[in-house]
Structure 1
């Protein structure tokens, strides 16, 4: 009697984040019998730059001027790296590609290029650029509620000079911390908020892709897909999440999103991952296939 082959979840983090963000979720998935691999995109995780000036006592001048390893990293670099991971994962059975936040830019572009490596794609409060680029959506009414100063309060250095975005997540500025919490984890405790922000890295690359990186019906559109809405997301507002779903469905009406929802801010689902893990386990059960 053949046994089902469990899929591998490949997890793609968002901006300023890394594979560490997914550790609690991976534990929950593992306890439910599902395997996963969390990636660190180029310049993230142990490849990240943490300037000495970022440590306490901080040196604002040094923090604003120290070069960062992520300078020059492009969306194409992220996609090439992710495709390499997907190729390895696919050798062991079905693959479910999950992205969060800015990780959706990479996931969508990778799905355009290698749909054969992905059995299901999942977006959790994640960018899925269809009609516009990510930069284009930022100018749309659905993003009007997002405070553009939420990162600016703690911006370190000039992005044009550094060739990257650098944010001082270790700031003691109460105004900046209040803005961060409202944007990312308003439904978390003080300890949860501080703990998560201490997993963030200060640097992120500048490349958010071009028109060519938008979802393509002939490739991306062939992959079964799920969008998990985060109902209290202040960073990627629910109105924009719903717009991305509508645009994806219009692009591939014969292959619409399956839509699920979580009672979560942008980050709470990662802090308290039980509900998300159960949703993802249901998806994995539908993707499992029998062995020959």
Structure 2
């Protein structure tokens, strides 16, 4: 039976960002489904203050993602994957922060996933996410500089709010480097416009993968070598730790020479890899 490839987006993103990849997969005869996690896609909110760039209004407007948890994302995915399983095997791909959701899903519901694919995605194995950020392999990341895009106090708002419509040229340059350094300025601005302002705070805390459940699902890691958000050296740490945790079920590894979201803008190579897995 033909597999369904299910996509889980990263931080402040949504199902829309997978549209070019889904088009390419359709031309290769592969079925796919892009998920909007709770509070994303057309369920997202943009405070009116974003239209006028009223900084005080942006900082103070309530967020519909306040209190939303990682578990809410898992609960949202379960009925979707059950329906997909009715039509054959299910491959689930997570990008970036979406890896935390995929890991939690694999821990709790391995029966719903026939293969996990992490595309330059977080995959805490030996330590929590925060501890990976202290490793030297994370040193090449520009995420600390990009954090200037924060537009509200997360502890007050109860969510993470980004002002992607900033006009600060230095910040825009850092954001481009963190996402799409190998893309044109126009491609970067189009991608930036697809992002939503808010993201939930909960990324799983100390949650790590469970070798008894997550560890028995076939898994692939797609290394993105020019990534300056999750450097390839850190991606290789996830691969090394995963192989040590489940030596009888090692990672199936692929490599794409692009930036953090480059494969979403130019999806041909990623589509070919996924078509092969399917």
Partner-residue secondary structure (3-state), 1:232: coil
Bigger mean CA deviation after superposition, 240-249 or 85-94: 85-94
CA distance in 2, matches of 1:53, 1:151: 21
Report the equivalent of 1:290. none
Report the equivalent of 2:54. 59
Q: 1:41 aligns with which of 24, 37, 43?
A: 37
CA distance in 2, matches of 1:224, 1:152: 34
Alpha-carbon displacement from aligned partner over 1:134-161 (angstroms, at most 9, x marks no partner): 1221122111122344332221111111
Report the equivalent of 2:117. 122
Partner-residue secondary structure (3-state), 2:270: helix
Given that 2:3 and 2:31 are in contact with CA atoms closer than 8 Å, whether structure 1 keeps it comes out as yes
Corresponding pairs, count: 278
Report the equivalent of 1:289. none
Q: 1:206 aligns with which of 191, 201, 207?
A: 201
CA distance in 1, matches of 2:39, 2:188: 24
CA distance in 2, matches of 1:146, 1:279: 26
Partner-residue secondary structure (3-state), 1:170: coil
Spell out the pairing of 1:5-154 with structure 2 (5 A cutoff). 5-55=1-51, 57-154=52-149
Given that 2:15 and 2:41 are in contact with CA atoms closer than 8 Å, whether structure 1 keeps it comes out as yes
Alpha-carbon displacement from aligned partner over 1:198-217 (angstroms, at most 9, x marks no partner): 00001111111133x31111
State the shift of 1:78 in Å.
Answer: 0.8
CA distance in 2, matches of 1:255, 1:147: 33
Q: 2:185 aligns with which of 187, 190, 205?
A: 190
Partner-residue secondary structure (3-state), 1:260: strand
CA distance in 2, matches of 1:40, 1:79: 12
Q: 2:168 aligns with which of 148, 166, 173?
A: 173
Spell out the pairing of 1:158-169 with structure 2 (5 A cutoff). 158-169=153-164
1:271 lines up with 2:265 in the alignment? yes
CA distance in 1, matches of 2:187, 2:205: 35
Partner-residue secondary structure (3-state), 2:33: strand
Provide structure 2 residue ranges, at least 5 long, that are not aligned to the other structure. none
Given that 1:19 and 1:45 are in contact with CA atoms closer than 8 Å, whether structure 2 keeps it comes out as yes
Provide structure 1 residue ranges, at least 5 long, that are not aligned to the other structure. 285-292
Return the TM-score normalized by structure 2. 0.98
CA distance in 2, matches of 1:51, 1:31: 38
Given that 1:150 and 1:183 are in contact with CA atoms closer than 8 Å, whether structure 2 keeps it comes out as no
CA distance in 2, matches of 1:267, 1:6: 27
Q: 1:243 aligns with which of 229, 233, 237?
A: 237
Given that 1:169 and 1:197 are in contact with CA atoms closer than 8 Å, whether structure 2 keeps it comes out as yes
Partner-residue secondary structure (3-state), 2:194: coil
Given that 2:220 and 2:253 are in contact with CA atoms closer than 8 Å, whether structure 1 keeps it comes out as yes
